[in-house]
C-alpha cells in the first residue's frame, strides 16, 4: 500500500482500522526512506501483513502521546532513531548540540536523553505488561553491560533499564517478522527465547546451557580487566556462521544473546528495497522546514551491508556485522530509474554505496564455510593473503547507472577502502572512479600516520594511503581533472600520546595537508576503541594503552592537526614543548609554528585553549557523527 503509515488516530480510521497491530515509537522524525531503519522495519512488517502505526518523537513527559492510537493488538516497537540519542544530543566535549539533523527544521529537544529507556518506561506506565521490543542502533550497541561516556560509568544492559521484553540487535528484518508472527499466533512474549538476532532476560535459574558466559555486570563494574575480557568475547561472537550464544549475569537475572541473525539473501535484500517507501519526510514537517537528515540520502542508493574492514572505533562490526551482503544489479538499476522520476531530481545520483562503497563480496571464499576469522582483520595491519579484491561487478553497476536517461553524474560519496582498492590488480575501477565518480573531492580515511596509533585503530599503516594518494593524483592528472583528496583524521584516539600527535602534524605539513575540520575521538557504546578508552587496555592483547582524557591535553592534540591556524599557535607551541620538540618552533621550513612574542606564550595559552574549545564546539554542535561515529574533513593540495 502506498502512502505514509498512520501517525494519528484519524489516519487509522481513514484506513478502516479499529486497532494497530504494533505502534512503532521512534526518536527521529518520520522519514519514509530506506536509509532510515524505522522506515525499513515498518515497511517490512507491513509487507508481512501487519498494521503498523508510527509514533515519531512523542512527548515523553506524560503517557498521553503513547496512548494516541489506543492499545495496539500485539505490542510496541521502540527505537531511538538512526543514531544513539546521546550522540545525537552531545558533542565529544559533552556539550549540547545546536542542531538535530533527524528532527524537523533541525530543532533540538524533541526527544529525551536515553530515548529508548524513557519511551519504554512511559509505555509501561500506560499499558502495564504489554509486549515491548526494542531495536535500532541505541539498543543494539547497548545490549550488554557497557561503558557510558556521558555517565563516565558502566551501565547495565539497556534491556533492564528499558523494562523491555526483547531486544532485536543488528539488522532486524528476520527477527522482527518472526517476533510479529509468533505473537500473532498467540505465543506469550516471555516464551520467545530462541529467535536469532534477539536478546532476552531470565532468572539465573533458567539460564540456558551452552554458549559463552561473559563476566557479570558486577564484575565488569569492579574490574577493568574483566570489562576488557567481556568486550573481546562480545566482539568475537558476532558472526552468524560460527558465533555462540552469549550470556551475562546482572544480579539475579541473566541476559541471553541468541545467535546473530542470518543475513538476508540477495533476493530478500532486493525485496526490502523495493517496498513502497515514500522517500521523503512526512508532510506534517513541511511547515517546519522538513527534516535535514534526508538531504544527504534523498538521491543515494544503498547497495551493500556489513563491513569486513572492522575499524576498532566503528560500531558497524558490532551492529551490521562483518559479512557482506549485496543487492543485485537489477535492483540497484531499478531504484536509480525510480530516482530519475522524482520531481526534484536534477540529474545527480549522490552515491551508490553503503558502509564501505567498494565492497561487493565477502573478503574471501572461506567465510562461506567457516565464517570470518576470530580475532583477526581482513585488511589491517596488512591485507590478508586470502583477500580477494575485485571491483568488476561494482564497476558494471556504476557504468550502467551513469548511462541511464536523465542521469548526468553518479558519485561515490559514502567512502571507499583505498587499501582494498589497491589490492585489485585491475585498475579499471580506479581509473573510472577518478574519471566519472568523484565530485571534485574524494573522501578517504587514513585517520592517522603513526603505526602505533593505527594498530590501535585497526587501520592499515600510512604507507597504503601514500601509495593510494600518489596513484590517485596520477590518474587525476591523466584524466585532465582538478580533484582533491579529503582525508578523515582523528585526534586523541587511544594509543596517541603527544609524541604521536606531533608525528601526525609533521606528516600533514610534509604532505601539504591542511585539514579544515578534525574529529576528537568519541567513545561511543559497543566499540573496541571505547573499551580501550575506559579500561586503558587493548582487549586483544591485554596490554596497557595510553589514553588522553584531560580536556586540555585533548585540545593540544587537536590543535596540532591544525598547526597552521594562527589562532591555535599558543596551543601548538605548548604541545611541542610538552613533547620535547622545540626544534619545530621557529622560522625554518620544517618548523610547525613561529616563536611567541616575548612573554605572550604563557599568557595566551589558557585563553587560546578556551577559545579553541569554543570554536571546535561551535563546529561539532552542528552535526553528530554518523554510523562511523565521527566526522572530520581536510583537503590536500593537488600539487605534491
- Assigned domain for 265 exists: no
pLDDT > 90? residue 595: yes
Q: How many domains does the chain have?
A: 3
Residue 567 has what DSSP assignment? G
Q: For position 473, which CATH number holds?
A: 3.30.750.200
How far is Cα 557 from Cα 493, in angstroms, rounded to an integer?
A: 10
pLDDT > 90? residue 163: yes
439, 459, 492: which is the final residue of a domain?
439
514 & 470 share domain: yes
How far is Cα 571 from Cα 568, in angstroms, rounded to an integer?
A: 5
Q: pTM value?
A: 0.92
432 & 455 share domain: no
Ramachandran region of residue 91, left (φ > 0), alpha (ψ -120 to 50) or beta? beta
pLDDT > 90? residue 228: yes
For β-strands 198-203 and 253-257, DSSP reports them as antiparallel
423 & 454 share domain: no
Judge contact between 79 and 134, C-beta under 8 A: yes
Domain that holds residue 109: 9-200
- Assigned domain for 247 exists: no
3-state class (DSSP) for residue 368: helix
**What is the pLDDT, as a whole number, of residue 621?**
40
Residue with cell 560460527: 242
- Assigned domain for 269 exists: no
How far is Cα 293 from Cα 535, in angstroms, rounded to an integer?
A: 34
476 & 563 share domain: yes
**Of the candidates 454, 448, 488, which has an alpha carbon nearest to the alpha carbon of residue 628?**
488
404, 439, 474: which is the final residue of a domain?
439
58 & 182 share domain: yes
Read off the pLDDT of residues 25-71 as tens digits, 9 standing for 90 and up. 999 999 999 999 999 999 999 999 999 999 999 999 999 999 999 99
Read off the pLDDT of residues 113-122 as tens digits, 9 standing for 90 and up. 999 999 999 9
Region 364-379 average pLDDT: 92
Largest CA distance in the chain: 80
- All residues at 6 or more sequence positions from 254 whose CB lies less than 8 Å from its CB, including other chains: 201, 202, 203, 204, 206, 207, 247, 248
425 & 479 share domain: no
- Assigned domain for 213 exists: no
417, 439, 461: which is the final residue of a domain?
439
Q: For position 115, which CATH number holds?
A: 3.40.50.280
How far is Cα 482 from Cα 440, in angstroms, rounded to an integer?
A: 7
Amino acid at each position: 500500500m502506498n502512502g505514509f503509515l498512520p501517525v494519528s488516530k484519524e489516519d487509522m480510521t481513514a484506513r478502516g482500522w479499529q486497532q494497530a497491530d504494533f505502534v512503532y515509537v521512534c526518536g527521529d522524525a518520520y522519514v519514509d526512506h530506506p536509509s532510515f531503519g524505522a522506515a525499513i522495519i515498518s515497511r517490512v512488517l507491513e509487507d508481512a501483513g501487519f498494521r503498523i502505526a508510527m509514533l515519531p518523537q512523542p512527548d515523553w513527559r506524560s503517557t498521553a502521546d503513547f496512548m494516541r492510537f489506543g492499545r495496539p493488538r500485539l505490542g510496541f516497537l521502540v527505537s531511538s532513531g538512526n543514531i544513539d540519542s546521546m550522540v545525537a544530543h552531545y558533542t565529544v566535549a559533552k556539550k549540547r548540540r545546536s542542531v538535530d539533523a533527524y528532527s524537523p527544521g533541525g530543532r533540538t529537544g524533541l526527544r529525551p536523553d536515553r530515548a529508548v529507556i524513557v519511551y519504554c518506561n512511559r509505555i509501561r506506565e500506560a499499558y502495564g505488561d504489554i509486549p515491548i521490543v526494542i531495536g535500532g542502533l541505541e539498543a543494539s550497541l547497548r545490549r550488554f553491560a557497557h561503558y557510558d561516556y556521558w555517565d563516565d560509568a558502566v551501565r547495565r544492559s539497556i534491556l533492564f533499564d528499558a523494562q523491555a521484553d526483547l531486544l532485536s540487535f543488528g539488522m532486524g528484518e528476520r527477527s522482527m517478522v518472526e517476533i510479529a508472527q509468533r505473537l500473532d499466533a498467540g505465543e506469550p512474549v516471555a516464551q520467545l527465547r530462541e529467535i536469532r538476532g534477539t536478546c532476552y532476560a531470565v532468572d539465573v535459574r533458567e539460564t540456558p546451557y551452552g554458549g559463552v558466559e561473559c563476566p557479570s555486570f558486577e564484575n565488569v563494574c569492579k574490574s577493568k580487566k574483566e570489562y576488557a575480557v567481556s568486550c573481546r568475547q562480545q566482539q568475537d561472537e558476532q558472526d552468524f556462521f560460527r558465533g555462540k550464544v552469549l550470556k551475562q549475569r546482572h544480579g539475579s537475572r541473566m541476559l541471553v544473546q541468541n545467535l546473530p541473525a542470518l543475513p538476508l539473501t540477495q533476493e530478500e535484500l532486493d525485496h526490502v528495497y523495493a517496498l513502497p517507501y515514500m522517500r521523503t519526510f512526512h508532510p506534517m514537517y513541511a511547515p517546519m522546514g522538513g527534516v535535514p537528515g534526508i538531504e544527504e540520502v534523498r538521491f543515494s542508493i544503498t547497495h551493500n551491508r556489513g563491513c569486513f574492514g572492522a575499524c576498532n572505533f566503528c560500531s558497524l562490526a558490532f551492529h551490521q556485522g562483518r559479512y557482506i551482503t549485496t543487492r543485485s544489479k537489477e535492483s540497484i538499476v531499478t531504484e536509480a530509474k525510480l530516482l530519475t522520476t522524482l520531481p526534484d531530481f536534477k540529474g545527480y545520483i549522490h552515491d551508490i554505496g553503503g558502509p564501505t562503497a567498494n565492497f561487493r563480496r565477502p573478503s574471501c571464499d572461506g567465510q562461506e564455510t567457516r565464517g570470518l576469522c576470530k580475532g583477526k582483520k581482513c585488511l589491517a595491519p596488512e591485507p590478508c593473503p586470502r583477500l580477494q579484491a575485485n571491483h568488476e561487478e561494482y564497476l558494471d553497476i556504476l557504468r550502467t547507472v551513469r548511462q541511464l536517461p536523465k542521469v548526468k553524474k553518479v558519485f561515490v560519496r559514502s567512502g571507499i577502502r583505498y587499501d582494498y582498492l589497491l589490492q585489485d590488480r585491475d585498475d579499471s575501477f580506479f581509473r573510472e572512479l577518478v574519471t566519472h565518480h568523484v565530485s571534485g573531492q574524494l573522501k578517504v580515511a587514513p585517520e592517522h600516520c603513526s603505526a602505533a596509533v593505527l594498530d590501535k585503530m585497526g587501520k592499515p599503516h600510512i604507507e597504503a594511503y601514500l601509495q593510494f594518494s600518489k596513484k590517485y593524483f596520477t590518474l587525476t592528472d591523466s584524466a585532465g581533472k582538478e580533484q582533491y583528496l579529503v582525508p578523515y583524521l582523528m585526534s586523541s584516539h587511544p594509543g596517541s600520546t603527544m609524541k604521536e600527535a606531533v608525528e601526525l602534524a609533521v606528516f600533514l605539513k610534509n604532505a601539504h595537508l591542511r585539514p579544515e575540520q578534525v574529529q576528537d575521538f568519541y567513545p561511543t557504546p559497543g566499540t573496541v576503541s571505547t573499551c580501550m578508552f575506559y579500561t586503558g587496555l587493548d582487549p586483544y592483547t591485554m596490554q596497557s594503552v595510553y589514553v588522553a582524557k584531560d580536556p586540555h591535553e585533548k585540545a593540544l592534540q587537536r590543535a596540532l592537526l591544525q598547526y597552521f591556524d594562527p589562532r591555535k599557535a599558543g596551543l601548538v607551541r605548548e604541545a611541542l614543548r610538552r613533547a620535547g620538540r622545540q626544534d619545530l618552533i621557529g622560522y625554518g621550513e620544517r618548523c610547525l609554528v613561529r616563536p611567541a612574542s616575548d612573554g605572550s606564550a604563557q599568557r595566551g595559552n589558557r585563553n587560546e585553549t578556551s577559545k579553541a574549545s569554543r570554536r571546535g564546539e561551535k563546529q561539532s554542535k552542528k552535526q553528530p557523527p554518523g554510523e562511523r561515529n565521527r566526522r572530520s574533513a581536510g583537503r590536500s593540495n593537488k600539487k605534491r
